[in-house]
Structure 1
Amino acid sequence: MSAHQQPPGTPAVAATLPTVGSGRIFSRPVLAWASWDWGSAAFNAVMTTFVFTVYLTSEAFGGEARTSQVLGWGLAAAGLLIALLAPVTGQRSDTGGRRKRWLGINTLIVVVLTGLCFFVYPSPEMLILGVALIAAANIFFEFAGVNYNAMLTQISTPSTIGRVSGFGWAMGYVGGIAALVVVLLVFISPVVDWQGASGEDGLNIRLVAVFSALWFAAFALPVLFTIPELPRRAAAAQLGFLASYGLLLRRVAAMYRQSPHTIYFLLASAIFRDGLAAVFTFGGVLAAGAFGFSAALVIVFAIAANVIAATGAVIGGFLDDRIGPKRVIIGALIGLLVAGSAILLLGTGTYSVFGLEWTSDTTFWVFGLLLTLFVGPAQASSRAFLARLAPPGGEGELFGLYATTGRAVSFLAPTLFALCIGIFGSQLYGVIGILVVLLAGLLLLIPVKPPARVAPSVLPEA
């Protein structure tokens, strides 16, 4: 099947876009595109999850309670700006023929902001600077992600979009593992003694920021030299920034009239994606708190979880192209509910199974990793689902709405996690909150029509 041939009933996702390659996984365009995901893991895994934010919330910056609160408010403000701006920035890059340019600009800003974290010395006076740099980098990272996701229809065909999306997610997971291993062996617990591994004035962590910036920059370059730019649509490109919101509202209204199930999917996916994020956000917390994993064992579990998630994303991508993204997402969400329920029901007890002892460690290793197996397919197929629904030339705007709806409900899983702990008096019962969010997302997704049965919408021009 060529890039412009489609099975019956499939929206013309790439009909008017400059496409490259055949959509094969190991083609140059797909590898170049996925390289960005690999590189971005240095920001996601190293800077915002496991290393730099942990450094910012340490005692050196003024006490855990205050530093965590400042970081939380900083990231909340960043989330609000992303929710307000992402759809319009995506729309303007689409219509202005600047998708690749803005991917490059936003990526460069993230790289610079990450590198500037080198100047965040371990001192209470530097806390605001550190949080401001991370929060600002998060904003531009999300803007870059909108353009990056929108490119999916340019490098895949309707018959390969699922596996290409899954491959990209897998590259992100594995890239995170690779970056963390380098950080661990070179800066944190170096196998070779060198001056940069010194903890004096936080030098090793500050150099990790420089490493992360260089890692992201190096692996982001291939996509900028491989994927063609969009054609410019003059009328919409001349709109002022505020006028772009008017066009956005008209397009959302038109989408609701012509293709309401696209709106329904945005709402359903916002809910279950919050639950998916919570699996990784609170996985390490539960491993250490409820199941007594040591810090080293938590890192080992995190690496194993990323390997399993990457494997699941690849498998889910192939299934996506065969049975459709909706079935993959539903299957993954059911798997998550089963695995999460097993963790909750088996808890921290010890059992005898066929004469063998089943401990709490076994429970979390087996069902915790099973959770991560299903996260990858759900994430990858969610992106592929939306890409199949995107009207030609409106991918950036739609993925901007995808980012906005996700941010709008991102409080759900953390709130329910904390609420359930408060009600039941045990950290383990926070799992109930995550399961409720996943179940709600599943129930909202079930009535949504799959992409092949949804008529593509036609975007009104400015």
Structure 2
Amino acid sequence: MEITQGQSLVAREKWLNKYTWAWASWDWGQAAVNAVMITFVFTVYLTSELFGDTDYASLVLSQALAIGGVAIALLVPITGLRADVAGRRKLWIIVNTLILVAICAACFFVYPDPSYLWFGAILIAAMSVFSEFAGVNYNAVLNQISTKATVGKVSGFGWGMGYVGGILALALVLFGFVQPIVDWPGASTDQSLNLRWVALFSAAWCLLFALPLFFVIPEAPASSSKKIPLSQSYKVLLKNIMELWRSDRNLLFFLCSSAVFRDGLAAIFTFGGVIAAGTFGFTMTEVIIFAIVGNVVAALGAVLGGRVDDWLGPKAVIVGSLIGLLVAGAGVFFSPEASGFWIFGLLLCLFVGPAQAASRSYLSRLIPEGREGELFGLYATTGRAVSFLAPALFAGAIAIATPLVDSGQAQRYGILGILLVLALGLLLLLPIRSPRKSS
């Protein structure tokens, strides 16, 4: 099927079609990298006593990730811009995904020895960089496979597939490698072979579920016949930002507000397990079980929120979700026992999914045709620019509370730091005009 700029692949078809499935399948596969490698399993292995002092290992990992974050902030917008102009959006998804898979597989060679610490940290940081590179153009495809009337459902479906993919990948890792239910050579703990095999599993999972996008989604057309030299890319990007300031400040204000509340959303998952273990006494197994159940709830929330998005608009979904998050977060803060964390923690997961999906669909409705990659690049960059905010307020709230409360109770107050970020994001979002709805 041949498409022209601004024409959706699904203009006359049902929204849940082969293009939607192929697009969302990439998110399903990507979840193994995010959930298994970067969040729950491999980074825990890398910061364990197997690599020496755990505090030093955590410091090395955070330094490597910080450098990766700077690379993302500097490079992502121009990579999206250049892909838009050249009409090579899918090509760069494929290239960056293949590089991501190779880096992930290379983690197999991170042996449990302090001399491999920096090697492992650099690989993790590189994964985060190329994941973001691929993700920018992946998000930009959203406008190719949806209409203004279906973009909310499609975005929510993609987020939901990502959550479900992460759930299944985590479960397979848990029962196949970490706590195997069947004794097999890949589950051997000698030289941490089981955890190193997790890297190969994640690489294969990512590649396998990326293939439908590679073969089904057509390449986007070029937005311009004139190529941009690499040396001129930042100049063109700055010019485009200034043009947006003059012509569409609403879009720029949304990028800023979403950066703040998305940092709060990320912090919920980043520190959720820490709070569960440190404040409510969850064991590692209980944390993983909660993570799996929480991802199920988040997936359901993302899909249902996508339908509400197309009915009421994305701003209503984001505002409602942020209010729900503030209420649920307060519930976690005041809960004296683990049962309260289960109730209000799962409620947090329910509202995280719709807020994430609606934020993406909100931007897709505002983007001028032909600039999807560039502006989703700015979307990623603005998020990185304030990514320190929630961790800093989380740590600051704990530091303030430490001399004022009983021993072991200060961590609970970190929740208030996260809630402050969410509240600030909500206040910044309220004055912004909603995108116009289209049938």
Alignment TM-score, normalising by the size of structure 2: 0.95
Q: Which amino acid aligns with 1:443?
A: L
Corresponding residue of 2:240 = 251
Alignment map for 1:254-273 (pairs within 5 Å):
254-273=243-262
Corresponding residue of 1:94 = 84
C-alpha separation in 2, matches of 1:15 and 1:340: 45
Q: Which amino acid aligns with 1:439?
A: A
Corresponding residue of 2:6 = 17
- Shift in Å, 1:184: 1.1
- Shift in Å, 1:242: 2.3
Alignment map for 1:125-144 (pairs within 5 Å):
125-144=115-134
C-alpha separation in 1, matches of 2:231 and 2:62: 29
CA contact (8 A) 1:20 1:228 kept: no
Deviation string for 1:154-202 (max 9, x for gaps)?
0011110001000000000000000011111111111111111011111
Asked if 1:383 is matched to 2:360, the reply is yes
CA contact (8 A) 2:4 2:221 kept: no
Alignment map for 1:139-154 (pairs within 5 Å):
139-154=129-144
Corresponding residue of 2:392 = 415
Asked if 1:194 is matched to 2:166, the reply is no
C-alpha separation in 2, matches of 1:230 and 1:373: 34
Asked if 1:241 is matched to 2:225, the reply is no
Q: Secondary structure at the match of 1:397?
A: helix
Corresponding residue of 1:448 = 432
CA contact (8 A) 1:17 1:230 kept: no
Alignment map for 1:66-215 (pairs within 5 Å):
66-215=56-205
C-alpha separation in 2, matches of 1:119 and 1:160: 44
Moved more, 410-419 or 187-196: 187-196
C-alpha separation in 2, matches of 1:213 and 1:420: 38
Asked if 1:433 is matched to 2:436, the reply is no
C-alpha separation in 1, matches of 2:118 and 2:397: 32
C-alpha separation in 2, matches of 1:72 and 1:24: 44
- Shift in Å, 1:35: 0.1
Asked if 1:424 is matched to 2:401, the reply is yes
Q: Percent identity?
A: 57
Corresponding residue of 1:289 = 278
C-alpha separation in 1, matches of 2:233 and 2:14: 36
Asked if 1:347 is matched to 2:331, the reply is no
CA contact (8 A) 2:223 2:370 kept: no
Q: Secondary structure at the match of 1:155?
A: coil
CA contact (8 A) 1:166 1:313 kept: yes
- Shift in Å, 1:54: 0.5
Q: Secondary structure at the match of 1:151?
A: helix
Q: Which amino acid aligns with 1:246?
A: K
Instruction: Calculate the aligned-residue CA RMSD, in Å.
Output: 1.4
- Shift in Å, 1:27: 0.6
Q: Secondary structure at the match of 2:149?
A: coil
Q: 1:197 to 1:272 in 2, by over 3 A?
A: same
Unpaired segments ≥5 residues, structure 1: 1-13, 349-359, 455-462
Asked if 1:398 is matched to 2:382, the reply is no
CA contact (8 A) 2:148 2:437 kept: no
Q: Secondary structure at the match of 2:436?
A: helix
Q: 1:322 to 1:190 in 2, by over 3 A?
A: same
Deviation string for 1:339-368 (max 9, x for gaps)?
111222x232xxxxxxxxxxx122101111
Q: Which amino acid aligns with 1:45?
A: A
Match of 1:333 among 299, 318, 322: 322
CA contact (8 A) 2:397 2:414 kept: yes
Corresponding residue of 2:350 = 373
Q: Which amino acid aligns with 2:27?
A: D
Q: Secondary structure at the match of 1:443?
A: helix
Match of 1:323 among 276, 295, 312: 312
C-alpha separation in 2, matches of 1:392 and 1:40: 27
C-alpha separation in 2, matches of 1:53 and 1:295: 14
C-alpha separation in 2, matches of 1:450 and 1:112: 41
Unpaired segments ≥5 residues, structure 2: 403-409
CA contact (8 A) 1:15 1:392 kept: no
Corresponding residue of 1:313 = 302
C-alpha separation in 2, matches of 1:174 and 1:233: 34
CA contact (8 A) 2:86 2:225 kept: no
C-alpha separation in 1, matches of 2:304 and 2:238: 37
CA contact (8 A) 2:313 2:437 kept: no
Q: Structure 1: which 4+ aligned runs deviate by more than 6 Å?
A: none
CA contact (8 A) 1:329 1:382 kept: yes
- Shift in Å, 1:21: 3.0
Deviation string for 1:261-292 (max 9, x for gaps)?
00000000000000000011111111111011
CA contact (8 A) 1:100 1:229 kept: yes
The count of aligned residue pairs is 428
Corresponding residue of 2:407 = none
Corresponding residue of 2:405 = none
Alignment map for 1:15-54 (pairs within 5 Å):
16-17=5-6, 19-22=8-11, 24-54=14-44
